[in-house]
Chain A
Amino acid sequence: MIKGKFTDNLGKVYAMYTLGFLVFFAIMAVFEQMGAGARAIGIGFLCFTIGIYALIGWLSRTAEVSAYYVAGREVPALYNGMATAADWMSGASFVALAGGVYFGGYPYLGFIIGWTGGYVLVNSLMAPYLRKFGCYTVPDFIGTRYGGNLARFCAVVVLVVASFTYVTAQINATGTIAAQTLGVPFELGVWLGLAGIFVCSMLGGMRGVTWTQVAQYIVLIIAYLTPIIWMSNKQGFGIIPHFSYGDAVHRIAELEAQYGLSKAAENIPGVAVLTTPTNAPAGNEWKMVTLAICMMCGTASLPHILMRYFTTPSVRSARRSVGWSLLFIFFLYFSAPALATLTKLQLLDPNLATSVIGKSFEEVSNLTWVQHWSSVGMLAVADQSGDGIVQLNEFFMRPDIVVLATPEIAGLPYVISGLVAAGGLAAAMSTADGLLLAIANALSHDLYYKIIDPKADTRKRLIVARVLLLFIGAGGAFIASLKLTGILGAVAWAFDFACSGLFFPLVLGVWWKRANKAGAIAGMVAGFGVGSWYLYMVYAAGMEPWMGIDHIRFGIIGMPVSLIAMVVVSLMTPAPSEEIQRMVDETRIPSGATVLDAAH
């Protein structure tokens, strides 16, 4: 059935895979009808999907440097778009984003705008030029464009800090889902999730990660859209609710006014209360826009995303694949607010059978899903006013569980919950893969091969890359098992670190010929240093945030510092050499050989 090279048969292979997944879903649904338990179905979904990813990882194993670092630069635009979408949409997008919008209201929409609008910057400022450059990693570009090991080293430091912050959040999400579904302790779930992540990335490097990410995208998008469409049909918003849930937005505003939005009498740690209005922009514009800026510039500087565009065959296909990426990402992002709105209505609207607000305390605490999620400390109902009725400010929930719990709240069959768990796992695993690879590649290529041992042979370089992958993954899992922050918080930090340190050195590297080594180093050190200092002061040292710029938007402080330092120092020091300026010219046109050759 399959003849010729794998890359010539992608359409066929992934169509068969999608069909296989749908058949598996149908079989699970039949099992549930026959009386299979929730646990068995959840385990079935996890084992089936991880088994497939492992198989792809094994089939993609490689001993070539170019295949390991950039998938041999033979990934077609469409598939690179899907892989980027999976790489991009993390546990935070899948598991926590709708929950953030659900509890945080308008200011959280900054994540939605930021995580999509960033791609306009990727496309217009970065991706095609970096692809033309022909680098293996992002520090590879900085090191060659500006010259010298110090610039390269600074870029490696920023990359490692940003990506490591991000990857702990992903391993945390993987662990949460594995623990929930398999019924094992969180700490064990974390290590099990990590094992799955390694299987995809260890053997095949970027090539293995690319083809598993395409498979993971297909699972995660099916898993995200199915419950929304199902719920929408139950509530009468039509087959595709995305264009028709406007009434639900109005209805929630009405109900919020009716119930009142007074704060909870007593907060319960670890869970949040639903008292932020869904749609109230007045007074929050600054919060929203600053968050969006940090997320957009962070998107355009996060190495695990930029390096995906190094894998396409040409500059034109790199651009085209940014277009595909955003389209595939868009499908999830314009669904998240729909999910948040419909789920909120489920709980609030007394006309719906699933509502809990305004019902008797006893009735609500006996619901199966309330008991299930309360038993793990992620939900709480407390009759703080003592009137025996559940008020809006007496229902507590952890924002991270909104997506996972939605099928149960809406009374959908368990097979949907299993599907959603598999989707969340796919999202978290695919991002963790990309991030671990970005870190390990920067350390093995830029730190080890370019700085420490330039004479190392291919075999040794790839062994170093794989050993580093193991250690970094284990380190991430260890930090994740300490449960330091919520999923969304740690992810926002990663974007802030990346945009503080890398955004201007990358952009000006292409767009400003006069930018030189001293300027770039100053930009990275000052931006990253001041940003990190501000984070420490606001988050740990108890400083009052300036103009409401809190710990999730510290890039607003880091970026201008980076820009000013870079411009001032560049202008105070001599212009870069003729050779470097020619290199920049070469980067700006798509045709011709890459600036760095394949064997660099």
Chain B
Amino acid sequence: MSANADARARHWEKTRNLTILVLIVWFILSMLAPWFADSLNSMTFLGFPLGYYMCVQGSLIGFVALIWFQNWRQDGIDDEFGVADE
């Protein structure tokens, strides 16, 4: 046992909040962006219609960044409560 019950509870609370934040961003990129693609298409980004751009590149770049961001934050949370495994 590397952490007491209280620290564990707070660790899990922070982990859960981070996960919820990540899932909100994920929802925007994977559901809202494609859903509103038609209206976004009236804008242009890098020469692409924006709605099309999001579906073929924008959201994908967002997903990669999101995972790396989450891991960076999660490592911080684990270290803070002394429950990292490396």
Contact = CB atoms under 8 A, between A and B. Distances in A.
A311 to B, nearest CB: 15
Given A117-B63, A591-B2, A592-B1, A246 B75 contact: no
Contacts of B3: 589, 591
A588 B16 CA distance: 10
A316 B86 contact: yes
B2 A117 contact: no
Given A112-B56, A316-B85, A589-B3, A289 B31 contact: yes
A249 B67 contact: no
A109 B57 CA distance: 11
B38 A326 contact: no
A588 B15 contact: yes
B66 A120 contact: yes
A126 to B, nearest CB: 11
Interface in B28-86: 29-31, 34-38, 41, 44, 46-49, 51-53, 55-57, 59-61, 63-64, 66-68, 70-71, 74-75, 78, 82-86
Nearest to A594: B85
A504 interface: no
A588 B67 contact: no
A317 interface: yes
Interface string B12-34: 10010001001100100111001
A243 B46 contact: yes
B18 to A, nearest CB: 8
Interface in A299-350: 314-317, 319-320, 322-323, 326-327, 330, 333-334, 337-338
Q: Give the size category of A's interface with B.
A: 35 or more
Nearest to B20: A124
A124 B70 contact: yes
Nearest to B68: A323
B66 A590 contact: no
Given A279-B49, A590-B84, A316 B56 contact: no
A585 interface: yes
Nearest to B15: A588
B30 A123 contact: no
Given A249-B48, A279-B41, A323 B67 contact: yes
A296 interface: yes
A337 B55 CA distance: 10
B34 A590 contact: no
A592 B78 CA distance: 12
Interface string A394-428: 00000000000000000000000000000000000
Interface residues of B, number: 49
Given A124-B22, A243-B46, A282 B38 contact: yes
Contacts of B46: 243-244, 246
Interface string A109-144: 110111011011101110010001000000000000
Given A120-B26, A249-B49, A330-B64, A590 B38 contact: no
Contacts, number: 152
Interface in A171-224: none
A363 B22 CA distance: 55
A282 B48 CA distance: 17
Given A113-B55, A242-B57, A121 B37 contact: no
Nearest to B47: A246
A247 B84 contact: no
Tell me which of A123, A132, A243 has the highest count of chain B C-beta atoms within 10 A of its own C-beta: A123
A323 B64 contact: yes
Contacts of B2: 589, 591-592
Contact of B8 (A285, A289, A334, A589): A589
Contacts of B84: 316, 590-591
B40 to A, nearest CB: 9
Contacts of B31: 289, 292-293
Contact of B48 (A112, A246, A285, A590): A246
Nearest to A120: B26
A316 B28 CA distance: 26
Nearest to A110: B34
A250 B48 CA distance: 8
B13 to A, nearest CB: 11
B22 A120 contact: yes
Interface string A87-111: 0000000000000000000100110
A416 B71 CA distance: 38
A292 B60 CA distance: 13
Contacts of A330: 60-61, 63-64
A320 B63 contact: no
A588 B30 contact: no
Nearest to A122: B67
Interface in A366-416: none
Given A116-B63, A119-B67, A589 B37 contact: no
Contacts of B29: 117
Interface in A241-272: 242-247, 249-250
Given A316-B75, A591-B83, A327 B64 contact: yes
A288 interface: yes
Contact of B19 (A125, A292, A319, A320): A125
Contacts of B12: 588-589
A281 interface: yes
Given A244-B46, A592-B1, 13 more contacts: A119-B63, A120-B22, A120-B66, A246-B46, A250-B47, A279-B51, A285-B35, A320-B71, A590-B78, A590-B84, A591-B82, A592-B2, A592-B85
Q: Which 6 A-B pairs have the closest CB atoms?
A: A246-B47, A246-B48, A281-B37, A117-B30, A337-B56, A590-B85
29 contacts: A110-B34, A112-B56, A113-B59, A117-B29, A117-B59, A123-B70, A124-B26, A124-B70, A244-B46, A246-B44, A246-B48, A279-B52, A281-B37, A288-B35, A288-B37, A292-B30, A293-B31, A319-B70, A323-B68, A330-B60, A330-B64, A337-B56, A588-B8, A588-B12, A589-B78, A590-B78, A591-B3, A591-B85, A592-B83
